[in-house]
Amino acid sequence: MSALTFEAAVASTLAAESQRRGKRLARTLIWAAAAIAVLWFSGAQIGMNPLALVKGVPFMADFFSRMFPPDLAHLSLLGDATLETVQIAVWGTLIAILLSIPFALLGAKNTTPHPIVFHATRMFLNALRAINELVFALIFVSAVGLGPFAGVLAIALHATGMLAKFCAEEIEGVDRGPIEAMQATGAGRLQVILFGIVPQVIPAFISYSIYRFDVSIRAATILGLVGAGGLGFSLIKTMKLFKYHETATCILVIFVIVLVSDWVCARIRARII
């Protein structure tokens, strides 16, 4: 390249760069303005008020002081509730795992028997996912009575929705090659699913199930708020009785359970993967 054309090339690229930068800046500014507008509007609607937060500090401090120190004697009473929380999470997740397998197969484009079944399943799963465990619990407490049974069902249904949708997406994303090979050997539909799809999907499914168990423990700790068993009940009871020291103990126990469950789940995931 002669010196002249080299200079020309460099100059034209510089000009192009400044043009692109200008356009990008304009675009960023527009998006930023839109975002700020949305945030301002919604913030006003819900009364976002940093000042109020600052003013609320003394209230928070008061709250803390009433809870501190936690009444450790109360721990002995919480033993049963703690166990119940774990039991709810265990069976809620287990039922979800069992139910999500058929629903995942029905809700995946490559394994569903019919488009209508596919769409109906997807809609049903969306409904299960959209509704919070607490809401389910509230309804089920009316239907089957107070206590942990309602809690198990609530967790099971919501977790089924989440697990099944996740699994369905995994099934849709499998490597097609082995599937074709399986079809070529003359295997039937079910056999292709069992030997071609399931082995590819299992690691992610197990990993997500364990994650779901972790989430279920968290949910199970507060189900008691609506009378569906677990630690939440002690929590709300002590608060309503103004026994904040005992409330603090409850919160402490919840904190510890979640931490332990977290750690256990992480270890199991590491072992399996």
Partner 1 sequence: MSSVAPVLAVDGVMEALAARKRWRFHHIALAGAAIAFLVWCAEGVGLRPKELAGALPAIGEYFYRMAPPKWEFAEVLWKPAAETLYIALWGNVIALMIGLPLGVLAASNVTRSAALRNAAKAVLNLLRSVSELIWAVFFVAAVGLGPFPGALALGVNFGGILGRLYAEALENIDNGPVEALAATGAGRLQIIAFAMLPQALPQFVTYNLYWFEVGVRSATVLGMVGAGGIGFELVTTIRLFEWRETGVVLLLILAMVTLIDLASTWIRARIYG
Partner 2 sequence: MNTPDTQRKPMISIRGLSKTYGGKGGGGVLALNNISIDVAAGEFLVILGPSGAGKSTLLRCINRLVDPSEGQVFHDGTEITAHRGDLRAIRRQFGMVFQQFNLVKRLSVLTNVLTGRLGYRSVWRSLAYSFPEADKRIAIECLARVNMDHKAFQRADTLSGGEQQRVAIARALAQQPMVILADEPVASLDPKIARQVLGYLREAAQELGITVLCNLHQVDYAREFSERVVGMSRGAVVFEGPSSALTDDILHRIYYREPGEVEKDEA
By CB under 8 A, name the binding residues for partner 2: 175, 177-178, 180-188, 190-191, 194-196, 199-200, 202-203
Restricted to residues 51-70, the positions that interact with partner 1 (CB under 8 A) are 52-53, 55-57, 59-60, 63
**Contact of residue 46 among partner 2, partner 1, none (CB under 5-8 Å per partner type):** partner 1
**Is residue 264 near partner 1 by the rule CB under 8 A?**
no
Is 3 a binding residue for partner 1 by CB under 8 A? The answer is: no
- Give how many residues touch partner 1 by CB under 8 A: 59
Q: DSSP secondary structure string, the chain?
A: --HHHHHHHHHHHHHHHHHHHHHHHHHHHHHHHHHHHHHHHHHHHHT--HHHHHHHHHHHHHHHHHHPSP-GGGHHHHHHHHHHHHHHHHHHHHHHHHHHHHHHHHTSTTT-S-HHHHHHHHHHHHHHHHS-HHHHHHHHHHHH-SSHHHHHHHHHHHHHHHHHHHHHHHHHTS-HHHHHHHHHTT--HHHHIIIIIHHHHHHHHHHHHHHHHHHHHHHHHHGGGGTSSSHHHHHHHHHHTT-HHHHHHHHHHHHHHHHHHHHHHHHHHHHH-
Is residue 138 a contact residue for partner 1 (CB under 8 A)?
A: yes
Residue 221 in contact with partner 1, rule: CB under 8 A: yes
What distance in Å separates the CA atoms of residue 14 and residue 21, rounded to the nearest whole number? Answer: 11
> Considering only residues 13, 19, 126, 191, which one is a binding residue for partner 1 as defined by CB under 8 A?
126
We find the least distance from the C-beta atom of residue 157 to partner 1, in angstroms, to be 9
Distance CA 221, CA 19 (A): 56
CB of 132 to partner 1, least distance (A): 5
CB of 261 to partner 2, least distance (A): 28
Residue 206's binding partner among partner 1, partner 2, none (Cβ under 5 to 8 angstroms by kind) is none
Q: Which residues ranging from 189 to 218 are in contact with partner 1 (CB under 8 A)?
A: 218
Residues that bind partner 1 (CB under 8 A): 38-39, 42-43, 45-49, 52-53, 55-57, 59-60, 63, 83-84, 86-88, 90-91, 94, 126-127, 129-132, 134-135, 138-140, 142-144, 147-149, 151-153, 218, 221-222, 225-226, 229, 235, 239, 251, 254-255, 258-259, 262
